[in-house]
Structure 1
Amino acid sequence: MDSSNSQEKVEQQLQQMDEEKKEDILASFDSFKSYLAKQVKKGEELGLSEESLAKAAEKVGNYLAAHEEPRNREEHLLKEMWKTADKNQQHQLAHILINMVK
């Protein structure tokens, strides 16, 4: 599976997710980490590389930074880090988040 196709699927999923599900995921940092861990596991089962997973995590990070208000201290910190990081640093942060939930 190529990374552009997987990135398109990530974007579609984010746009189709209903508000109640988003609220459940973002209600606490633990629920966010749990959701991310499940998505990483699904990606690995589909054969996505670490790099493809990081690119998908970047899409999620960009979406959250642009469209969602942080609901807890950890999300506030992540949003501030994301906003102040350049593209390369955001990519590294995506790798770090993936490693954190594995």
Structure 2
Amino acid sequence: MSSDKKDEILSSFDEFQNYLNDKISKGEKLGLSEDQLAKGAERVAEYLKNHEAPRNTEEKLLQEMWKVSDDDEKHQMAHVLVKLAKKEGN
């Protein structure tokens, strides 16, 4: 992904949710289960935690929650992020 595209996605929490919704929709069309989608969201969150500085208060809150969560809690948060992104896409 280009740096400009990444900047566009991370410029606001709404853009990030739209990006997730698009990827979730594509995953559902491919037949991915809710659990598989959540695992993908976990990978995105882990990447962001390790490689990107939060650009807004929502991202900062998610990053801090992610840092203090154990694996089970992260998995549950990923499910919630999938639900949130799907809701925002409707």
Instruction: Please give the TM-score of this superposition, normalised by the length of structure 1.
Output: 0.83
Q: CA deviation at 1:48?
A: 0.2
Q: CA deviation at 1:41?
A: 0.3
Q: CA deviation at 1:18?
A: 1.4
1:50 to 34, 41, 48: 34
Unaligned runs of 5+ in 1: 1-16
Moved over 2 A (4+): none
Counterpart of 2:9 in structure 1 is 25
Unaligned runs of 5+ in 2: none
Q: Residue by residue, what CA displacement relative to the aligned partner does 1:16-51 show, whole Å, maximum 9, x if unpaired?
A: x11111100000000000000000000000000001
Counterpart of 2:60 in structure 1 is 76
Give, in whole Å, the separation in 2 of the partners of 1:19 and 1:65. Answer: 17
Give, in whole Å, the separation in 2 of the partners of 1:90 and 1:19. Answer: 27
Matches within 5 A, 1:1-102: 17-102=1-86
Where relative contact order (Cα < 8 A, 6+ residues apart) is larger, the structure is: 2
